Structures are given as C-alpha cells and as structure tokens.
Structure 1
Amino acid sequence: MPTDCISYQNSGYFTPLMNDYLDQKSNLRLLYNRFPTLENFDDQILEKKLNFNGYDNGKSKRSLLVTVLEKQYSLIKTSTETLNNINLLNDSNTFTITTGHQLNLFTGPLYFLYKIISTINLTKELKSKYPESNFVPIYWMATEDHDFEEINYFIFKGRKFRWNKESSGPVGRLSTEGLADFFKLYQQDLGSGKNADTIKKLFQESYLNHTNLADATRFLANELFSEQGLVILDADDHDLKTTFIPYIKNELLSQTSYKEVTKTIENLKEYPIQVNPREINLFYLEDNLRERIIFENGTYKVNNTTIEYAETEILSLLDTNPEKFSPNVIMRPLYQEVILPNLCYIGGGGELAYWLELKSFFDTVNVTFPILLLRNSAVLVSEKQAKKADKLGLSWANLFSKQNDLINNKVKLLDEYSIDLSIQKDFLKNQFHYLHTLAQKTDPSFSGAVKAQEAKQIKGLEQLEKRLLKAQKRKHSEELERLTILQNELFPNKSLQERQANFSEFYLEYGEQLIPNLINKLHPLEVNFDIITL
C-alpha cells in the first residue's frame, strides 16, 4: 500500500488563511496567543491559571461549573473516568481542552469524531508532558444555535437521511418528536447483524428515549466517548450565564466586540472574512425564539418581534434572567473562555478562521485567548482499497488531486510516448518571436497578422494535444475506470470523506474497534492529513 502522507497545506482542502496560520506567517502573528506546540502550553497554563481562578458572587467559577455539570449528568449513566474529570475541575491545577460542535443528527459527518478524539488525545499528551496538572476534554454542545437545516440530516452510504420538522428557537430545546418515523426508514438500510443491532440500539436510546435534542446528543456522545473521560457541557444554563453577566452588559452598553473585531478585519483584507460582527452580538432567547437584539433610537429591540426594552429594563432583565441572552458566533468564544479553565480550542479551518478575528477583543476585556489547534483530518481506507491504490501505482498525494488532473497525469505515465506538447509550443513561440521582430523592422502593419497566425497555430497544437490525450484515455479506459472508482469511494461527491459520510457507515463494517482504532492513530499536534487503514 502507499506509504506517503500529505500535509494539510498540500492537500488542497484548506484555505490560504489556514495554510498561512499553519506556516506561522508573520502577518498573522498578532491574531493568536501561542502556536500549538507542546512546549507552548507551559506559558499558557500559567497565564490561564492567573486569569481564571476567581470568584463570582462569592462562589468560585470552578465550583459553579462542577455543580452545573453534576446536575446535567444526574440523569444519565456515565463512566468513572468522566465523573473523576468533573470532580477534578474543582482543582486549581486542572485545565480543559475544548472542542465545540453543532447537535448534528446522529453526529452528522465523520469529523465530529475527529474533533472529539483530537481533544481527548491532546489531554493525554499534555498529562504526559505536565504531570503536575490535570487536563479534561470538553465537548461544548452548540445547544443555542438555531439553524436546524444544517443539522437535521446525515449521509449513510451515499443516501441523505433527513429529519423533516418545523423548528424555531435554540436547537438544544427542540423536541425529538418525529424521529421514531425517521428511524423506521434508517434501520431498513442498516440491515441485520451484530454491528447493525448496536447502531439501532444507540439511535433508539439516544433519540427515542430523550425528549429534546440536547439530552439526546449528550447521551449519544457519552455512549461513544465516556470511557475516555469526555465531559459534555450544555452552556444554555442560568447559572453559567450569571458568570457572563458583566460581559453581556458591556456588549449591550459599549459594543466592544464590534469595535475590536472590525479593526482586526481591516488587517485581514487579503483573506476572505469568515464572519462580520454586528453592533450587538447577542440574541434574545426563549424556547421557540432566538432573534437578534438591536439597538435603535435609545431602545433595545428583539428583531422580528414587538419585544423592546429601555436601557434600565434590559439591564434589570439581564440581572434576573441572564439565560435569555445568547451569544452569537462572535461572543460565544468569549463565553466559553470565561466559564472554563480552558487552554486550547480545537476546531476546523472555518472555526479557527473566525477565532483569529477575536484576539484583540479578548485582550480588551482581559480574558486569556486560547491556543488554537486545527483538528485532525483523516481518510479511512479499507485494506482492499489500500491494495488497489498500490496495484494502480498511486500515492495518497495522487488521490488528493483533482480527478481530471489525476486521470491526465496517469495517462502520461502509462504511455511510453509523451503527449505533452509543451516543447513544441515553446519552439513555435520562439519562431513567432523572430517573425514579430521581422515584422516590426519591415512593416509594423503585419504585426496583427503575425499575432493571429501565432494564436491559430498554438490553438491547433492544444487541440491536437487534447485529441491525443482523449485517444490515450480510450486506450487505457479500464485502468482509468478503476482509478476513478477508487477515488470516488475515498472522496465521495469529489469532497472529503469526513465531510460526507456518517460514522455508522464505518461502524457497520468495523464495529466497536472503530473508535479505539481512531484514537490510536490520530495525533493532534501533527499537521499531516491522516490516512488510516482499518
């Protein structure tokens, strides 16, 4: 099987901003605190310890966090490892490594697993490096999000299974009603057998035995990762929001986030901007409502409603009901870092892109900015597929290339005669350079005719090259078809496997060894795209 690997930067699947961040380009240096190396966590630990271990209304942030987690875990059975990790959060030498993710139905795409495994594995590496401290992996459930269309489906063996339901308000509070009918269709495609039965039971116990999406997702993630000590947090909570009140108040009165992020965006003009801040980066939240808070003519209004408050009224509401205020994508990272003793956030390229907009804002409100780590990415390959790649003489780098480039390059390798007419085109250009010079010296009016003739002959060579390539493709059609089929299996819909397939497709084949295998093979601080043979 191929033995090469490919870096994130060379994979073709990451933006220029992410590639430059991974390359530690100097123009981005002011946008993050410390680059993710094992050694850099030493200073990050010291800084976060000084910044975090405070009190809120006479109660330590840590004890408040533990109380909330104990309440959230009171109704589900979990592992000793997870319970120990929750208790360790009381200790001033305990820190978290956090990843966040939407409440995608049945985890959604594969990279949900990679995010959490990256988080778990980094805590292990840190414990080995810094044994005097403790490190707890956190999955932050995005329960306050409201874009149901992004999470109401998953893809299994190329087929999209969608949960059709009306939705408004935060998705974590959404009823799981209707998933019994969804499950009837899904289980038919699962078939029978031990692994299929395990998947069916997991879906039933997660979604059919829980009344809302937050509880269902917590149960599911706990079933998958509790043995690794994963702690799952739902921050849609009155007590946790109480800790965040000073920052919400600042947002309402001073709009600090808008001012600071806008200034940072000015320094990112060479890259596409991931998110743009609003003047107030908060939503108003109720069970069936999540709408922007807007400040107009001295009044705070809830968008698309008749709800409005004077300044004294909204500040009074904040003091008594902070759970009604929900941070948007700009404020949510700050909320996370205020309530957690967090050292590092692990996310995908899109997530880290908007985190890079926030450093100045964090500095202004005096909250430690976390280390930003790009999550692991991987392609899962069966032994049969790996042998096919080897037999076809393909490297993994070959398989990451665009399909048309892959086919054309393979055709050129298969034939003893080159169909690259670059040498001929260069020769022709040199000849016409002489003719251009001659025309200028004799009669400049002939220059147009020379240019036209040059373009015509170059185009003729290009067309001939295409026809030769087409003929070669017909000649090697069987081998090229095998190559195309293999790439389509590993990159469904010409996209990354991890963004398409659901974990259940692989669990059906590999069973309970799937997750331990991934845990053993994913290394969070490496910057190579992992090719994992199962």
Structure 2
Amino acid sequence: MKSDCIPFKKTGYFSNLICDYLDEKETLKPFFNRFSSLDNFKDQLLEKQANFPIENRTVLNGAMKRQYANIDISRSTELHIELLKDKSTFTVVTGHQLNLFTGPLYFLYKIISTINLTQQLKEVYPNYNFVPVYWMATEDHDFDEINYFNFKGKKLQWNKIASGAVGHLNTDGLDDIYDMFSLEIGMGQNAEELKALFKKAYLEHSNLTDATRYLANELFGEYGLVIVDGDDRELKKLLVPYAKMDILENSGYKAVSETSQKLEQLPENYGIQVNPREINYFYLKDGVRERIIEENGLFYINDTDLRFTEEEVLKELENYPERFSPNVISRPLYQEIILPNLCYIGGGGELAYWLELKSSFEEMGITFPILLLRNSALVITQKQGKKLTKLNLDIEDLFLKQNSFINKKIRNISNIDIDFSPQRRNLQEQFQELYALAEQTDKSFLGAVKAQEVKQLKGLDNLEKRLLKAQKRKLKDHVVRMTEIQNELFPNKSLQERNLNFSELYLEYGKELIPVLMKELKPLSGEFNILTMD
C-alpha cells in the first residue's frame, strides 16, 4: 500500500466555503463553536457534559436496546450501548441516507472517519469513553436519491412506487436487484460474500430500516459502531419542547435566517446551502411525510385534508411525538438533544448547512458540536497504478478537468515546444519600439499600432492552439490511454467516491478492504487521501 495526500483545495472538488473553513478563516469563526483539533475536544466535552441531562442518557440507552433487540451485535457495540448511560461517555456522529447497498463509496469513509476519531480521542483522553454513531436517515422521503447503486458502470435501480419515510418501505422487489447483481458480479469467494450480504440484508428483512441496520452492523459492528434510528417514539419525546418552540414561535426560522444573511453578506460570496421554513417539521403518518404550514392560526398538512388548531397540534405533538419529523434544519438539533455528542462528521455540503445553524442551537440552549470534514480518498488498484506509471502520469494532474489534463500532458511529452510565451514577449518588445515612434507622430497612428499588436498576439494564440491540436492528433494513442485511466478513476468526471459502490473494491480485496481503509484514513489529517493498493 502506497499512501499519499493532497490538500482539499488542490483537488478542485471542494467549495471555497469548505476550504476556508479548513483554513480556519477568521470571517467564518462566528459560524462554528470550536475547530476540529484534538486539543479543542477537551473544552467541547466539558461543555457538553455540563449541558446534557443524565435522564437523556437513560432514554437513549433504552432506545438502543429496543432497536438492537432482534439483531446479533458484537461485544464492542453492546459495551458501547451500556456506556451511553455513563456521564463520562460521549459520541462522535455521522449521518447518511438509506442508500441501496450503501450507495456511493463515501458511505464507508464517513463511518471509518467516525470510528477512527473515537479511537484517537480515547488515546488522548483515556478517562472518557467515546462511541462511534451512524445516524440512519430513516425519515427522509426522497426515494429517488437512495433507490439505486452503481456497479461497473451500470445503475442497478429499485423500481417501486414509494411515498413517506423511506425507512418504512417494505423490501418487496429487491429480489430483482439481487438477481441482476448476481448476474453482473461474476464468480469467486468475494463475489459470493457480496451476494450473501445483499441477500441477508434486503431479502431477509421486511423494511429498509432493518435492512440498512443489518448491513452497516455487518460491515462495522466489530468496531463497536452504534446505529441510531431517530424515528423512535421515546427519543422524540425529548424533542417535544423544542418542536413547540419551532412550531409556535418559528424560533429556528428566525435564528437560521439571520445567520444565513450574515453568511451571505460576507465578501467571499459563499452563498447559502439551505433555507429554513417558518416550521421546520414534517407530519409523518401512514405513508405520508408532508410539511406543516401555519395560516391564520390553523396548521395544515401540505397536500392533505388534515388541519389542526393550535391546541390540537400541541395535543398531537404531546400524544404522538413520533408523527413529527424534523427537516434538514431541525434534524441536527434533534441529534444533539438525544446524543451526548462532541462532533459531527460530514461531507462538504453537509458542513455548509451546519455552518448556518449555530445561532439556532444557541436559541434552544443546546451545545453546538465540532464539525469535521469526513475523509475523502481516491483508491487506485494495482493494475491502475501500473498504467499510471507506464504513462508517467502525476496523480495530482488527474484531478484537472480533462481538457486541461490532456493539454498539460501533451505539452510535457511533446518533442517540440508548444509554449509560444517567448514569441509573445519578443513581439511585445518589438511593439514597444513602435509605440515609442507613435508618441512622436499623430495619435491615430498609436491606435493603428495597438490594433496590430492585438491582431498579431491573437494570431500567435491561434497558432499555439493549432500546434497543440496537431500534437494531440500525432499522440492520439497516448491521449486515448490517458483519458481512459482518468475516466476509470473519475467516473462521470467526478470523484470516485461519489460514484463507485464499495462492492467493486470488495470484489478485488474482500474482507481486507475495510481494515486497510481503517488503517490509512486519518480523520484529522485535513487532506485528500490517495491510496495505491498492492
């Protein structure tokens, strides 16, 4: 294994907002609590410890025991669930949708980052316990985002009419995906293990929540991962007073809107990731997850005939808290209410909207967590590594847009100089003499000199482009091989981790895949990983 890394900023795939956050830019400091350095966790855990009720730990422990009642768990996970009752125990959390068969590869990176950080924290703060948590987005209702995964360039999609929270969906129809996957995956021990994993997860569990819990537990249970389903009546009882503030006082809307405006007004022009609503909760019942909208003192459930008076909606909230589902603004708050959490680990888009939320946490009296960008990686197989060596390609250049990548490499390997910069300088020097002459005569001649300079410089630009184009034709075979390997490593001209499913790497490396990634990915490194496998 050869491990290397480059700064996130140099990849070209991360926003200015995230790059500036990683640089701890001064203008962003009002939007987060503490930066993600090991030293800062000491103050974070002391603040959270003082601000997290012991009774919430009891509720959390009971909920986890219920949620794990029908699943075989490792001793490490069982111990972590018990430790949640202890005031010296804290969590590190990542969250993700219930993507079919984990969806994109970065699902693994999120959870590995989370587990590795808890282990690192335990080494530095041995008197405390740290539990890695995967929060399943069971209440999300965007089925089209989670109903497929990519395998060897093909999209294996679950075609189903669906509505409401995806976690409630039954797994009918996934036997068709299993059959397609089995046909595509081929033979061998690793292939058989993948087929068995898919079958046990999706064909032997009746709903998507249970299937995803089983799958994540099989992949990471031995590391003590605790999987949390927030779609839980007892856990949501803890949310009730905060939901009241949002529904009746629009507290989340006011706080987040104010923060968003401040973020938007910064000279860096970051833009806004999400916009709050007056009420940041959905109503969840019988296959429906729709917005709650207040008009003239009545509370309507969007696209239904349901409506409540203020008294009725409060009674519904008290009696059936499970029917109130947080949206993207209120879900982070819910997470921090029920978990003794220190840090949230997410992708760039997630951290961008978390940076809008600090004021709403302050409004509700909840400690705002440390935010950490998850690990990212480009995994290069042994075969791909040999191709890169043969073509003499710099890995950093692979992150360039394809046209820039080709142009740069053609210039490097050509036996003639395609850079006309010396000719431009020479031409400009000659025109300086003409300008001096023009100063001594009519001004109209000065304009003619300027026009001729522009014309000739443009002509040089065109000649340079034509020469580059000619060299591309001459080196066509090299260009084809270059673009093929770049397309392999950056499918759909995007990061590998956003397209590839873990199964493709598992086919090659089997049960060694996750341990290798666990060893190589360092959550606090602050750089993009490049892993060349042996």
**What is aligned with 1:300?**
299
Where does residue 25 of structure 1 map in the other structure? 25
Determine the structure 2 residue equivalent to 1:123: 118
Q: Shift of the alpha carbon at 1:395? A: 2.3
- The alpha carbon displacement at 1:255 in A equals 0.8
Structure 2 residue 62 is matched with structure 1 residue 102: no
Aligned ranges 1:39-54 → 2 under 5 Å: 39-54=39-54
CA contact (8 A) 2:379 2:532 kept: yes
User: What is the aligned partner in structure 2 of residue 253 from structure 1?
Assistant: 248
In structure 2, distance between residues paired with 1:215 and 1:192: 28
Given residue 119 of structure 2, which amino acid in structure 1 is its aligned partner? Answer: K
1:241 counterpart (236, 242, 261) = 236
Contact 2:299 2:307 in 1 (8 A): yes
Q: What are the Cα deviations for residues 467-511 of structure 1, in whole angstroms up to 9, with x where unaligned?
A: 111222233333333222221111111111000010111111111
Structure-2 residue corresponding to 1:207: 202
CA contact (8 A) 2:410 2:472 kept: yes
- 1:135-160 C-alpha deviation (Å, 9 max, x unpaired): 00000000010000111111001111
Name the counterpart of 1:476.
475
1:269-288 C-alpha deviation (Å, 9 max, x unpaired): 21121101111111111131
Deviations 1:33-91 (A, max 9, x none): 1111111101011000000034xxxxx11111011111110111111111111011011
State the SS of the aligned residue for 1:532. Answer: strand
* 1:176 matches 2:176: no
For 1:404 and 1:193, how far apart are their aligned partners in 2? 39
Question: What SS is found at the alignment partner of 1:52?
Answer: coil
User: Do 1:2 and 1:396's aligned partners in 2 also have CA atoms closer than 8 Å?
Assistant: no
Deviation, structure 1 residue 165: 0.8
State how 1:509-520 maps to structure 2 within 5 Å. Answer: 509-520=508-519
Residue aligning to 1:13: 13
After TM superposition, give the deviation of residue 303 of structure 1 in Å. Answer: 1.0
Residues 31 and 359 of structure 1 are in contact (CA less than 8 Å); yes or no, is this contact kept in structure 2? yes
CA distance in 1 between counterparts of 2:305 and 2:486 reads: 54
1:217 pairs with one of 212, 215, 218: 212
Of the three residues 141, 145, 148, the one matched with 2:143 is 148
Cα displacement (A) at 1:531: 1.2
Rounded to whole Å, the distance in 1 between the matches of 2:472 and 2:87 is 65
Kept in 1, the 8 Å contact 2:2–2:531? The answer is no
Task: Name the SS for the 2:51 alignment partner.
Answer: helix
Number of the residue aligned with 2:501: 502
Find the aligned partners of 1:454 and 1:386 in 2 and give their Cα distance. 47
1:148-195 CA distances to partner (integer Å, 9 max, x unpaired)?
011111100111111111111011101111111221112100112111
3-state SS of the aligned residue for 2:263? coil
Counterpart contact for 1:5–1:396, Cα < 8 Å? no
Alpha-carbon distance in structure 2 between the residues aligned to 1:494 and 1:102: 23
Distance 2:211 2:46 in 1: 37
Say whether residues 1:372 and 2:371 are aligned partners. yes
Partner AA of 1:340 in structure 2: L
Give, in whole Å, the separation in 2 of the partners of 1:279 and 1:238: 24
1:80 to 75, 87, 94: 75
| Counterpart code for 2:406 | I
Contact 1:170 1:287 in 2 (8 A): no
**Deviations, residues 312-349 of structure 1 (Å, cap 9, x unaligned):** 11011111011111110010000000000000000000
Deviates more, 1:3-12 or 1:78-87: 3-12
Query: Which amino acid in structure 2 is aligned with residue 462 of structure 1?
Result: D
Q: TM-score, normalised by structure 2?
A: 0.96
Instruction: Answer whether contact 1:143 1:234 (CA < 8 A) is retained.
Output: yes
SS at match of 2:227: strand
Task: Say if 1:292 and 1:431 are closer, same or farther in 2 by CA, change over 3 A.
Answer: farther
Partner of 2:335: 336
Distance 1:422 1:3, change over 3 A: farther
Q: Structure 1 3/509 Cα, relative in aligned 2: closer, same or farther at 3 Å?
A: closer
Per-residue Cα deviation, 1:412-456 (whole angstroms, up to 9, x for no partner)? 221343211123224334544554565566333455544443332
Give secondary structure in 1 for the equivalent of 2:393.
coil
Asked if the contact 2:47/2:367 (under 8 Å) is kept, the reply is yes
Give the whole-Å Cα distance in 2 for the aligned partners of 1:68 and 1:21.
35
Identical residues among aligned pairs (%): 58
Residue 57 (structure 1) aligns with: none
What secondary structure does 1:95 align onto? Answer: strand
* CA distance, structure 2, for counterparts of residue 517 and residue 329 of structure 1: 33
Distance 2:4 2:37 in 1: 24
Q: Which residue of 2 aligns with 1:136?
A: 131
C-alpha distance in 1, partners of 2:37/2:118? 13
Residue 164 (1) aligns with residue 159 (2): yes
In structure 2, give the amino acid aligned to 1:475.
K
Secondary structure of 1:267's counterpart equals helix
Matching residue within 232, 237, 262 for 2:227: 232
Check 1:316–1:220 CA distance in 2 against 1; reply closer, same or farther (3 A cut): same
Asked whether the equivalents of residues 344 and 372 of structure 2 are also in contact (C-alpha less than 8 Å), the reply is yes
Where does structure 1 lack aligned partners over 5 or more consecutive residues? Answer: 55-59
CA distances 1:191-222 after superposition (whole Å, capped 9, x unpaired): 12111111111111101111111111001001
Q: TM-score, normalised by structure 1?
A: 0.96
Cα 1:202–1:2, aligned 2, differ >3 Å: closer, same or farther? closer
Name which of structure 1's ranges 405-414 and 12-21 shifts more when overlaid on structure 2: 405-414
- Distance across 1 between alignment mates of 2:183 and 2:154: 13
SS in 2 for 1:211: coil
In structure 1, what is the Cα distance between the partners aligned to 2:411 and 2:190? Answer: 44
What is the one-letter code of the residue matched to 1:479?
H
Residue 189 of structure 2 is matched in structure 1 by 194
Provide Cα deviations, 1:3-61, integer angstroms capped at 9, x if missing partner.
7531112111100000000000000001111111111101011000000034xxxxx11
Residues 153 and 343 of structure 1: is their aligned pair in 2 closer, same or farther, counting only changes over 3 Å?
same
Q: Distance in 1 between matches of 2:34 and 2:414?
A: 50
| Preserved CA contact (<8 Å) 2:190 2:507 | yes
Q: How far did 1:2 drift?
A: 8.1
Aligned length: 529
> What secondary structure sits across from 1:344 in the alignment?
strand
The alpha-carbon deviation at position 397 of structure 1 amounts to 1.0
Structure 2 gap ranges (5+): none
Which residue type is aligned with residue 32 of structure 1?
Answer: F
Contact 1:5 1:397 in 2 (8 A): no
CA distance in 2, matches of 1:478, 1:531: 26
